[in-house]
Structure 1
Amino acid sequence: MNWINNVVRPKIQRVFNKKQQTPDNLWHKCSSCGEMIFHRDLEAAMRVCPNCDHHMRLGTKERFATLFDKNDYQIIATDAVALDPLKFRDQKKYPDRLKEARTKTGRDDAVTVAHGPLDGVETVIAIEDFSFMGGSLGMAAGEAVIKGAEVALEKKAPYILFTAAGGARMQEGILSLMQMPRTTVALQLLREAGLPFIVVLTDPTTGGVLASYAMLGDVHVAEPKALIGFSGRRVIEQTIREKLPDDFQSAEFQLEHGMVDMIVHRHKMKDTLARLVRLMTHRPRSAKQQSANVPATVAVSSAP
C-alpha cells in the first residue's frame, strides 16, 4: 500500500498535471476563413491570417511594437478623471465593469498615448483598444486623446491616432458625449499650429468616435476590410427602407466613396506612416527609403 501511495500515485498525478498545464491557446482560429494558426506564427504575422489575409484585432502593446523604432517609446500619463460621476448601474456597477476591463487588458482605459521615434521622427501615437469596453469613448479616453494633442504641440511632433470603438460610453452619459467637442477643439489647435494629424481607422470604428476625431485627420488611412460607419446596418436599412450593399461600411466601400484616403496592409503600415510624416513635415526621405528607392509621394494603395 505504501508503494502505491508513495510511488505510483504521485507519478500518475504528475502525468495529469502536465496535461492540465498545457496552454489551451496555442492555436487560433481565423474568424474569416476558419484556418487554425499557431500562436507564434500569428504573432510574427502581426495577427494577419497567412491564409486569407484577414486582419485580426491587435492589442495596444503589440501595435506600439510594430510602429516605434526598436520598440522604443514612452507612455504619456494622462490626468485622472472621476471614476463614476453618474453612479451608473445596469447589470453591474460601473466601477466593477472598469475593474474587470482593467484586469483583463492591463490598461487604465481604452486609449493609450505614447511618444517615440517613427523612422527617426519623434511622433506621438495614440492607440484605441477595442478590448477595453469596446473602445468606448468616455472621459478618460477623451482626456488621453487631448493629452496626445497637447504633447504633440509641445514637442512640435506629428500626431497619429489609431481608432477602434463602438461609440460613446453609455455609463458616463452626457459627460461621454462632451468628449466629442473637447477632442475637436484640441485637434483644431494642432491644425492651427501646422502639425500633421493622421487617423488610422481599424476594425471597428463606429458611433461617436467616427462622428468626431476619427474623421478630423489630415489623412485618413484604413486597414483592409475594417468596419467603418456611424450606425449599424439594420438601423440604417429600417430608416431609409432600402437594402444596403453587402460591402456597406467596409474600408473598401469608404475608399470608393471618398471617406478614406488609402487602405494599407498592416505589414506596410509603419513604412506608409513614416513616408506620410516625412512628407507632411517637409523632412527628407530616410536612408531606408532611399536605399529601397521609395518614391517621395504616397499613392493611394489597397491590400495585396
Structure 2
Amino acid sequence: MAAPNFIDYVKFCSRSGAGGAGYLHFNREKHLQNGGPDGGDGGRGGHVILKGSSNVWTLLHLKYRKHIIAEAGERGGMQDCTGASGKDEILEVPLGTVARKADTGEIVCEITEDGQEVILTPGGRGGKGNAFFATSTNRAPEYAQPGEPSIEEWIILELKLLADVGLVGFPNAGKSTLLSVVSAAKPKIADYAFTTLTPNLGVVAYRDDKSFVMADIPGIIEGAAEGRGLGIRFLRHIERNSLLLFMIPADAKDIKKEYEILLNELRKYNPELLDKKRILAISKSDMLDEELLTEMKREVPTDIPTVFISAATQQGITELKDVIWRNLH
C-alpha cells in the first residue's frame, strides 16, 4: 500500500482575481459645485503564486484543493482613492516542483530555490478612474475603465526530487535496504517486488561532517518507459540527480544484461539521463565466496565503476561512499 503522505502529482483549477473597476466621479462640495473628476483607479486582482519551501517535501497539502481562487481587486473610490488589491493566493511547494499548463503541457516554471516566488496565474489590472483621463481639452471625462477579467486555467504540478544520488534498479534489488543502512531514512523493506511504491530520501553522512542526499525510487522493469509496472511516473525523479547508482543483486542471472535493460529504459525515457555519471553496486555480495567473487568481477560491465556491497554485513559500504563522493565532487 502506498504511503499516503507522499504526493508528487496534483492537478487543480487556478483562478486569479479580476481587477477592480475605475471609479467615475466628480468632486462636489458646498464651496465647489463644479469640481473636476476625482474617480480613483481600481485595485489589482490577486495573483496565484508558487513559493519554494525547503520545509515542504510533498504536494499532499494541495491534493484536495481542486480550485485555487485569488481575491478580486476593489473598485476605485472618490477623491482619487485607489481600490485595494485582491489578496494573493500563495502556494508553498517543495523544491523541484514543475508547473505546467494542463491543456498544452507548456512548462510555466520550475521551483528550485527556497523562498523563490513565481506568479503562476496573474491577477487582472485595475481599471483607470475618470481622473486619469482628464486633459486640457477634456476636463470632465465621463467614463472610467473596467478592470481586467480574471484568468482561469488548469495547472499540473509535478515534483521531481532534488537529490545528489538516485538509486536505479529492478524491484527487490536492495535499494531500500541500502538507504536504510547508510541514512536515517526508514523505507518499507520486504522480500517481494515493488515494496517501494513512493520515493524515499535520506541524508548520507560522510567523512569530516560532509553529507549527500540519496533518493530511492520504485523499481524499474523492462518496458517502464512505455508505462509497464509503475511506468514513467517515478522515472522523472532521477532527472535532477547528479549521479545515478545502479543496483543489481549478486544472484541476478546476468548482471550485464540487467544493466543494459536498465540503461535502455532510461535512454527511451530521456536520453539526457545517460550523460549523468553512473556507478554500479552489486548488492547482496555476502552470498559470494572468494571464488565466485573473483569470477563475477570478470562479468561486470567494464565502462562503469563497480563496487560489491552487502547492506546486511556492511561489506563495501565505506568504499561505495568514497566512490560516490569522488564522482560527486
TM-score with structure 1 setting the length? 0.32
> Which of these two proteins has the greater Rg computed from alpha carbons?
2
TM-score with structure 2 setting the length? 0.30
Pick the structure with more helix per residue: 1
Pick the structure with more strand per residue: 2
